[in-house]
Structure 1
């Protein structure tokens, strides 16, 4: 998400908006034409595009969403897809949000109304590891894998980095959060590998950029553990319909 924020910041810095479409019922009548985008920042999986008129566009990609950035054409390009939710264009670049899960327009001073419920952003330059760790400890008997996916505890960790972080620390995904021996270290590891991936996309969780070698456990069900050779297992964290996939080594990460 940090990479997306950086791309949007760069593309929209070219000048004021010459086209702005918000195809979302609650903000469909809003007019952003003429506003200058100052920056787009990420908080976990949320994106905040701030404008010079004191407003912020809040969007969330969820699982399927994406932003496409293309050259602005002399004749306005049509985006007929029913999945298009946002179109923001300067005279040079057009940014299109497709299959977005959230679209809000709020005063920049009121951004807390859309992200105030989230935990510390692990992708932040000054990440608050202490608060993230305290939030983790407060989860009691909840499975640590489920806790790491809870954006209210710490924002930004998804299924890939949950699985990878737990493997690095030899922690079983179903270990109660209260039994995790060093929450600060766990959160620091998650923040570090996520940040490295954002800063240099070629850097993987394993450090190996070759296809199929970028993770220790994620997506490797029934393949040998890179540490001990035991076949990696696949399971589900949480309760349906909001359960999430996870991967672990039954030997390295035994209960």
Structure 2
């Protein structure tokens, strides 16, 4: 599942093959940009902002969001031809080709091309980026505390507060903080510590191909404390992990997201 660390790696890998390179062709397979041709333009930079990816080219910005299944793949080009794609052609939304590489955006949740001056329209709402050079812990806390009665599991997932946390990290952070995801922000015992831990977890994982929140190079069930482990014993106390969903009243059109917690380590709000 793409979260801030995944998008950070995508930006790093795309920089290696695109930054400073001239495009020999571009192919945008979405109606709004189907006629746009960026051939001859140079990619000046590639960067991530939370779970958003930005490519600057020819005074424009290619903005994408991976959503649940999106991914950018890179393929070497030899004698003008790219290596075979690893995913089906029908899933491609954008194809950018240089004389040495071809990058393909598959199943992107969002794909738009904006003038550089309007990039704020795409990412200006985001809170401090957990993996960005301008991380501001005080601003992140101010935003979280602006709605003290909101569920912490919703506040962490809201990219307007701090950018980069997805559903896996929010569940793991609540476990590590010994707080139920539905508990109010104002009930979190040490909110600054939780925000700091979020940053440390993403930083620890941004260079790993396999995410682990339990430490080291753990894989599979050993890599998570609670996420995806419903019915399994808690690694801390042995009580079986519970699964539920948590809807966000602020975004009624979005489906409720999965939450996982230990009933002993993370008492539900109102429980004695």
Measured after TM superposition, the shift of residue 117 of structure 1 is 1.4
The answer on 1:253 being equivalent to 2:262 is: no
Report the Cα distance in structure 2 between the residues aligned to 1:211 and 1:220, rounded to whole angstroms. 10
Which of 56, 59, 62 is the equivalent residue of 1:54?
Answer: 59
Measured after TM superposition, the shift of residue 162 of structure 1 is 0.5
Measured after TM superposition, the shift of residue 13 of structure 1 is 3.1
Which of 14, 19, 25 is the equivalent residue of 2:31?
Answer: 25
Deviations 1:199-225 (A, max 9, x none): 334561111423321011111111111
Report the Cα distance in structure 2 between the residues aligned to 1:203 and 1:76, rounded to whole angstroms. 34
Local SS of the residue matching 2:89:
coil
Report the Cα distance in structure 1 between the residues aligned to 2:99 and 2:80, rounded to whole angstroms. 11
Q: After the TM superposition, list the runs of 4 or more consecutive aligned residues in structure 1 that deviate by more than 4 angstroms.
A: 75-80
Gaps of 5+ in 1: none
Which of 219, 229, 247 is the equivalent residue of 1:220?
Answer: 229
Query: In the comparison of the two structures, how many residue pairs are matched?
Result: 254
Which of 94, 99, 107 is the equivalent residue of 1:91?
Answer: 99
Report the Cα distance in structure 2 between the residues aligned to 1:76 and 1:139, rounded to whole angstroms. 53
RMSD of Structure 2 on Structure 1 (CA): 1.9
Report the Cα distance in structure 1 between the residues aligned to 2:236 and 2:255, rounded to whole angstroms. 31
Local SS of the residue matching 1:170:
coil
Contact 1:61/1:102 (CA < 8 Å) preserved in 2? yes
Report the Cα distance in structure 1 between the residues aligned to 2:124 and 2:27, rounded to whole angstroms. 26
Report the Cα distance in structure 2 between the residues aligned to 1:205 and 1:3, rounded to whole angstroms. 17
TM-score, normalised by the number of residues in structure 1: 0.93
Gaps of 5+ in 2: 1-6
Measured after TM superposition, the shift of residue 76 of structure 1 is 4.5
